[in-house]
Amino acid sequence: MNSSVYRGKSGQWAFMTHRVTGFLVFCFLLMHVIDVSLVNVNPHLYNDVHGIYGNVFMRIFEIGLLGGLVFHSFNGLRIIAYDFFPGAIKREKEMLTVVVFLTVVLMIVGGWIILHPYFFPESQ
Amino acid sequence: MTSTLEPRAPKTSVVDQPRLQRRPRVNTEVWSWYFMRVSGLVLLFLALFHFFITHILNDVATTDATFVAKRWDNPLWRLYDWALLALGLFHGTNGVRFIMNDYIVVPWKRAAAKAFVYGLVLALFAYGTLSIVTF
Q: How does DSSP assign B91-135, residue by residue?
A: HHHHHHHHHHHHH--SHHHHHHHHHHHHHHHHHHHHHHHHHHHH-
Asked if residue B68 belongs to a domain, the reply is yes
Which chain A residues are within 8 Å of B60, Cβ to Cβ? 53-54, 59, 62, 114
Asked if residue B3 belongs to a domain, the reply is no
Asked if residue B9 belongs to a domain, the reply is no
Asked if residue B98 belongs to a domain, the reply is yes
Domain count, chain B: 1
Asked if residue B23 belongs to a domain, the reply is no
Question: Per-residue pLDDT tens for A22-72?
Answer: 999 999 999 999 999 999 989 999 999 998 998 999 999 999 999 999 999
Q: What is the rounded CA–CA span in Å between residue A12 and residue B18?
A: 24
> Measured between CA atoms, how close is B108 to chain A, in angstroms?
22
CATH architecture of the domain with residue range A10-117: Up-down Bundle (1.20)
> Measured between CA atoms, how close is B88 to chain A, in angstroms?
8
* Residue range(s) defining the domain that contains residue B73: 28-134
ipTM rounded to 2 decimals = 0.90
> Of all helices (H) and strands (E), which one includes residue B65?
helix B65-71
Asked if residue B43 belongs to a domain, the reply is yes
Specify the pTM: 0.85
Asked if residue B110 belongs to a domain, the reply is yes
Asked if residue B13 belongs to a domain, the reply is no
Indicate which CATH number applies to the domain containing B92. 1.20.1300.10
Which region among A19-23, A39-43, B38-42, B127-131 has the lowest average model confidence (pLDDT)?
A39-43
